[in-house]
Amino acid sequence: MLPSPPSPRLVRNLGCVDYLPVWQAMQRFTDERTAATADEIWVLEHQPVFTLGMNADPLHVLDAGDIPVLRVDRGGQVTYHGPGQLVVYPLIDLRRAGLGVRDLVTVLEQSVIDCLAGYGIAAAVRPRAPGVYVDGRKIASVGIRVRRGASYHGIALNVAMDMAPFACINPCGYEGLAMTQLAALGAPAQLPRVAADLLTELQRLLSRNSHDPSQARTDQEGT
């Protein structure tokens, strides 16, 4: 029997929230979802936090200061979240959508690239270094988890935030990696507008890249 077609994706705007309860809510949603559960996309900002991926080296946190550090169940190394950064978490039934782990990462990265292109900014990816870069500086980080054939975690785009905490870590495990944000590039830096534009690209690419269903691996990828 063929799987049912994907249900419409529900977008939830959560505001600026602490990391831990959202992470726990994503896990709970993934564990409790059924074949009939509609996919959701959560859009938010986080209060200041450093997060380490499952296999991340804690030595990449150079000086956390008063900012909490959490080890979480996504792929990748260490990153920073804070107000003014747009975070998008796609909770997608990958088996139903016929998407693999790498497919989803590619969609997330390309949605940022296409969104930035609309602002006249040329962005690109790097081989073996997930995320999106502008002139060698990282502007968006990707880290996902797939469990029970469904995804959580997602992508974080720097819009108009305090960038100083990035100097307290080796971002994504790379010493000296330069970071940037839309506000430094002369682009629109109003979070609601950027969120709307990014969601438009993400929804379009998710629909375009869904293909004949195959088994999605339980895996994680990111930085």
Catalytic residues, by residue number, are 172
The answer to whether residues 58 and 79 touch, using CB atoms and an 8 Å cutoff, is no
Structure tokens at 57: 């080296």
User: What gap in Å lies between CA 63 and CA 169, rounded to an integer?
Assistant: 7
Burial of 170 (0-12, 13-18, 19+ CB in 10 A): middle
